[in-house]
Structure 1
Amino acid sequence: MEGEEDQPLTPAGRLFLRPELDQVVNCAFGLKHPIDVEAIKAEIKNSVMIQHPRFCSLLVRDKKGREHWRRTKVEVERHVLVRDIESDGDEVEDEDADEVVNRYLADLSVSTPLNTDKPLWEFHLLPAQRCCILRLHHALGDGISLMSLALACCRRIHHPDQPATIFSSDSSSSSSKIKQNSNRINICRKVWKLMGAAWLSLVFISKFVLRSLWVKDAKTAVSGGAGVELWPRKLATARFDLEDLKAVKKSIVDATINDVLFGVISSGLSRYLDLRSPTRPREGLQITGMAMVNLRKEPGLQDLSEMMRSNSGSKWGNQFGFFLLPLYYHRDVDPLRYVKRAKAMLDQKKQSLEAHFSYRMGDLIMSLLGPKFASLLNYNIICNTSFTISNIFGPQEEIMIAGNPITYLRANSSSLPHAITMHMVSYAGRADMQILVPKEIIPNPQVLAKCFQDALLEMKEAAAA
C-alpha cells in the first residue's frame, strides 16, 4: 500500500523461491456438508489471515533481483478458485472422493505454481469432493506457522464463539522431566553429558556436511535423484489411529509419538523393499531421510497472536532445521525393536545441535554466498538421501470453517528429488500421513501406505502381548 516501505524476505524465504526448491504447501480440509462458496469467501474476508502482512503482500524484485514484500489490496475473489473435478477415466470406476482429491493434489505438486501478480496463497474448492485446499508458498512461513494461521480461521464445533484450541506435542512433557531432574545430577555427570552432546554434534554435523557434498544412499527401489522432482506424481494416504500410536508409545519407557512414527516408517520401508526388490536387500541396509525439526521454544502449533509479536520466542516464519534420519532394513521378529532403534537414534539427535546447525548454516551461506549456492547445497543433500518426513500435532477436538465441520486435515508440498515425501498431521484422534511419490519409481503408493499401517498394527499387538 502507498506510504509503506517494502520488506525484504528472510534468507529461508529467498531459498524457497529458487527454481530448484520452489515449494508450495497444500493443506486439505475435508468438509462434512456441501460447500457454500459464498460463506467460505465471507469467512476469508473476515479472517485474521487477511490481516497478516505476508498474506496481503506481493512478491516483487528490485533492480538487483533481490526479493521484497510489497503491501497490496487483497481481492478475495481472485484467491478463491472453484474446481469441478471428476474421476479420471484411466482410474478405477469406483474411485472415491479421497482418491480424486489425492490425484488433484499430486498434479498440483508438479505443475501448478502460484501466480506472483497476487499474494502467494489460494483456496481451491472442490464441491463434488467436499474438500477445501489452502495453497500457500513456503516463503510465507513453515508448516507450524501456516497451520497455526489456517486453524486461527476455524472455530470449535461445540464452542462456535471460540477459535480452535492449539495443542503441543508430547515432547514438551519430556523436556520438563529433564528440567525437574537436572538439579539432582552432580557436576561430573553434567560435564559428561555436555561432552557427549559436543561429540554427538561434531559427528552428526560432519555427516550432514558430507551428505550435502557427495555421500549418498545406495540405490534401492525407493531412491530418487536429480530431476525426479519434475516427474509425474501419485499421492496416497496412510491412516493411523492416534490411540494405536499412543499404545505403542506407552509400552516403551520414555518413548514419544515421533519415536513410534519413525519406527513405523523403518518397518514399513523394510516391508515394501521385500515386496519390490527381486532379491532380498542386505540386512542393515541404510535408508536415510531428512526430518524437519521445529526450532521454536514451544513445540507444536502456536497461538497466532503470540507468533506475530516481534519479541516472541515462537515467532512467525520459517523456524525449522533438518536432521538426517538413518533407518535400516531389517526383518525383525519383534516389531517393537524398530521403535527401540528409532528412539535410541532420536535420543542422540536431540542431544546434538545438528538441526540448529542446519538452520544457522543455511542463513550464513545465504548471506555470504547467496541463494544460488545455498540452494545447490540443499538440492544435493536431498538428492543424496531417500525421503522427507514431517509431523505436525494438530487440534484433537473437532473444528469447523464457515460453520462446516472439518472431517480431516492433511498436508503435502511441492515435489522434491526424493522418491518419497511424507507429511503427517493429527486431528481429532486420527493421524493422516500423505505419501507423495513419482509414479515411475513407486507406481503403487497405496501398497506403501498399507505397509506403514500394517507395521503399526503389528506393533500395537506386540505392545498388548
Structure 2
Amino acid sequence: MGGDEALTPAGRMFLQPQMKQIIHCVIGLKKEIDVESVKSEIRNSTLLKHPRFTSLMVRDRRGVEHWRPTEIDIDNHVRIIEEALGEQDESAINNYLSELSIDTLSMDKPLWEIHLLLLHKCVIFRIHHSLGDGISLMSMLLASCRKLHDPRALPTISASASNTTSRFSLSNLLLTLCFCFIFALDFILRCLWIRDTKSALTGGSGVELWPRKIATATFSLEHMKTVKTALNATINDVLFAVISSGISKYLDFRAPNELRDGVQLTGLAMVNLRKQPGLQELSNLMRSNSGARWGNKFGMILLPIYYHRSNTSDPLEYLKRAKAMIDRKKRSLEASFSYRVGDLVMSTLGPKFASLLNYRILCHTTFTISNVIGPQEEIMIGGNPVTFLRANNSALPHALILNMVSYAGRADMQVQVAKDIIPDPEFLAKCFEDALLEMKEQVTAKI
C-alpha cells in the first residue's frame, strides 16, 4: 500500500455507476497503420511516463479507491480491428464509436485502450474520465505529435479569447453579483425539480443505457470567423447559435407544432478552468504547481436555447441571442462556481452524493455540449499525417451529446444520440451545417 495514491474526489465521482464516463479521441490518418510502429510509439511516449496510465484502480477494505503502480503489457491495451466495418470510412468509424459509447473498460488493467481500425486508417484512444478530462487527454496525445511541415516542432494551439473585458466599477461588481445569484439559484433549482419541457430530443433516467448512433457535422472555421467578426462575437457564440438554429430546424421537421414558439430547452456545457487557455504541453500539465495541471478541472454552465420556427426566424437573431446570453454567463462566473461547489460537495458529502446531483441535472436538461480547440495547422503522429481529430464520450442520460474539436481550418462535431429517441442523427447534423451556411450567407449579403 506504500506506493498507492488516493483518487481525487472528481476521479471517484466518475467511477460511480451513474456517472461512469470514458472519453474517446478519434484520429484519422492518411497512410496505412503499422501496428508494430504504433506499439513502439506507445512504449517511447510520454503516456507511459505518467503514473495515471501505469496504475491499477484498486479499493481498500473501506471501499476507498486508490491508484496502484503496475507493469504495463502493451498488447493488453491495443485492440486491432482488421476487418472492414462498412463501405464508407466515416459511417463505419461512427458506427464503431456508437458501440463503444455504451461499452466499459476492464478494471483489471490501467483504464485506457487504443483501438486500431486498420482498413479505415483510424486510431481511437479511450481513457476513463477518472484519469483526466478532455483537455488532459488531447494534451497527452498532442505531446506525441509534430507539425507536418516542421517535424521537430510541437503543434500550435491558439488560445481562446474573450471579448467581454470591462473596467472595474461598483455597478459592474453589483451586476456580476446579481448574475452569480441568479445562475447559482438556477443550478440549485435544476438539481431539485425544475426540468425542461418534453420534446423530441428529451432523454431521462436510464437513457444512458440505450443504444446509440453517431453522425458528424463538419464546419469551416473560415465561415465561423466570418460570422463572428460581423457581430463582434466569439467562435463559441457562433457554435451555440448554430446549435440553437439547428435544433429549431430539426424540431420543425420531426415534431411540427409540438412546441410553442419561444419554449426553452437547456444545454449543459463543459468549460475548461485552467488558467492558461487552450491545450497545454504534457510537461506543463504534470507539474503540480501549474495552473494547467493534469486531471479534471472543468466547470459546468447551463445554456438555454429557445425554439423558434425556422421559417420565421432571421438566422443572425440566433447569434445575437447566443452572444448576449453567453456574455452574461461569463460575467456570472458560473463555471467557476459550479466547479467549487462540486468540489466542496464531493469532499464533504462524498462522490455518491455528488454523482446523484450531477445525474439529476443531466436528467433535467436536454443536451450536453463541449468544444476543444485543436491544432491550427496539419500535424502528424509517428510520421503519419493526421486527416481529422474528433472526440466523444460515453452515453449520458441525455439523448443528445455534442462534442466539437477544431483542426487545421475545420471543426468536426460528433452528434451522439439515443437512436430510439433521435433516429436520424445524420439529418440533425445537416441541420447544424445548414444553420452556419445560412448565417454566413446573411453576413455576406450585408457586406
The one-letter code matched in structure 2 to 1:101 is I
The corresponding residue for 1:25 is 23
Q: 1:107 pairs with 84, 99, 104, which one?
A: 99
C-alpha spacing 1:14/1:85, structure 2 compared with 1 (3 Å):
farther
Alignment map for 1:34-49 (pairs within 5 Å):
34-49=32-47
1:245-271 per-residue CA deviation (whole Å, 9 max, x = no partner) reads 101000102x10000000000000000
Moved over 6 A (4+): none
The corresponding residue for 1:426 is 406
The corresponding residue for 1:306 is 284
Conserved in 2, the CA contact under 8 Å of 1:170 and 1:257? no
In the TM superposition, residue 279 of structure 1 has moved relative to its aligned partner by 2.3
Secondary structure class of the residue paired with 2:108: coil
Q: CA–CA distance in 1 between the matches of 2:126 and 2:85?
A: 22
The corresponding residue for 2:125 is 134
In the TM superposition, residue 48 of structure 1 has moved relative to its aligned partner by 0.8
Q: CA–CA distance in 1 between the matches of 2:374 and 2:401?
A: 19
The one-letter code matched in structure 2 to 1:378 is N
Please give the TM-score of this superposition, normalised by the length of structure 1. 0.93
Conserved in 2, the CA contact under 8 Å of 1:394 and 1:425? yes
Range moving further from structure 2, 414-423 or 290-299 = 290-299
Structure 2 residue 143 is matched with structure 1 residue 152:
yes
Q: CA–CA distance in 2 between the matches of 1:317 and 1:370?
A: 18
Unaligned runs of 5+ in 2: none
Q: CA–CA distance in 2 between the matches of 1:80 and 1:386?
A: 35
Range moving further from structure 2, 151-160 or 218-227 = 151-160
In the TM superposition, residue 449 of structure 1 has moved relative to its aligned partner by 0.1
Q: CA–CA distance in 1 between the matches of 2:155 and 2:244?
A: 33
1:83-122 per-residue CA deviation (whole Å, 9 max, x = no partner) reads 134346xxxxxx4111000000010001x21111111111
In the TM superposition, residue 353 of structure 1 has moved relative to its aligned partner by 2.4
Alignment map for 1:45-84 (pairs within 5 Å):
45-84=43-82
Q: 2:188 pairs with 209, 215, 218, which one?
A: 209
Alignment map for 1:317-332 (pairs within 5 Å):
317-331=295-309, 332=312
C-alpha spacing 1:227/1:85, structure 2 compared with 1 (3 Å):
farther
The corresponding residue for 1:381 is 361
The one-letter code matched in structure 1 to 2:113 is E
Conserved in 2, the CA contact under 8 Å of 1:125 and 1:132? yes
Q: CA–CA distance in 2 between the matches of 1:429 and 1:131?
A: 20
Q: CA–CA distance in 1 between the matches of 2:20 and 2:83?
A: 26
Conserved in 2, the CA contact under 8 Å of 1:155 and 1:161? yes
In the TM superposition, residue 280 of structure 1 has moved relative to its aligned partner by 5.0
Unaligned runs of 5+ in 1: 89-94
1:346-372 per-residue CA deviation (whole Å, 9 max, x = no partner) reads 000000122112111111111222111
Range moving further from structure 2, 315-324 or 357-366 = 357-366
Secondary structure class of the residue paired with 2:18: coil
The corresponding residue for 1:245 is 224
Q: CA–CA distance in 1 between the matches of 2:226 and 2:2?
A: 53
Q: CA–CA distance in 1 between the matches of 2:158 and 2:51?
A: 25
The corresponding residue for 1:458 is 438
Alignment map for 1:92-103 (pairs within 5 Å):
95-103=87-95
Secondary structure class of the residue paired with 2:300: strand
Q: CA–CA distance in 2 between the matches of 1:361 and 1:148?
A: 26
The corresponding residue for 1:277 is 255
Q: CA–CA distance in 2 between the matches of 1:333 and 1:7?
A: 55
Q: CA–CA distance in 2 between the matches of 1:385 and 1:280?
A: 18
Conserved in 2, the CA contact under 8 Å of 1:4 and 1:71? no
Q: 2:212 pairs with 233, 242, 256, which one?
A: 233
The corresponding residue for 1:92 is none
Alignment root-mean-square deviation, CA:
1.3
Q: CA–CA distance in 1 between the matches of 2:281 and 2:444?
A: 37
Give the aligned length. 443
Conserved in 1, the CA contact under 8 Å of 2:26 and 2:391? yes
The one-letter code matched in structure 2 to 1:318 is N
Secondary structure class of the residue paired with 1:49: helix
Conserved in 2, the CA contact under 8 Å of 1:144 and 1:301? yes
Structure 2 residue 372 is matched with structure 1 residue 392:
yes
Q: CA–CA distance in 2 between the matches of 1:424 and 1:85?
A: 28
1:298-326 per-residue CA deviation (whole Å, 9 max, x = no partner) reads 11111221121111111111000101010
Q: CA–CA distance in 1 between the matches of 2:117 and 2:157?
A: 27
Q: CA–CA distance in 2 between the matches of 1:411 and 1:222?
A: 21
The one-letter code matched in structure 1 to 2:190 is R
Q: 1:124 pairs with 109, 112, 115, which one?
A: 115
In the TM superposition, residue 72 of structure 1 has moved relative to its aligned partner by 1.4
1:276-305 per-residue CA deviation (whole Å, 9 max, x = no partner) reads 114252111101010011111111111221
1:424-453 per-residue CA deviation (whole Å, 9 max, x = no partner) reads 000010100001101100000000000000
Q: CA–CA distance in 2 between the matches of 1:378 and 1:425?
A: 24
The corresponding residue for 2:161 is 170
Q: CA–CA distance in 2 between the matches of 1:343 and 1:83?
A: 44
Q: CA–CA distance in 1 between the matches of 2:109 and 2:246?
A: 42
Q: CA–CA distance in 2 between the matches of 1:76 and 1:155?
A: 23
The corresponding residue for 1:316 is 294
In the TM superposition, residue 164 of structure 1 has moved relative to its aligned partner by 2.1
Please give the TM-score of this superposition, normalised by the length of structure 2. 0.97
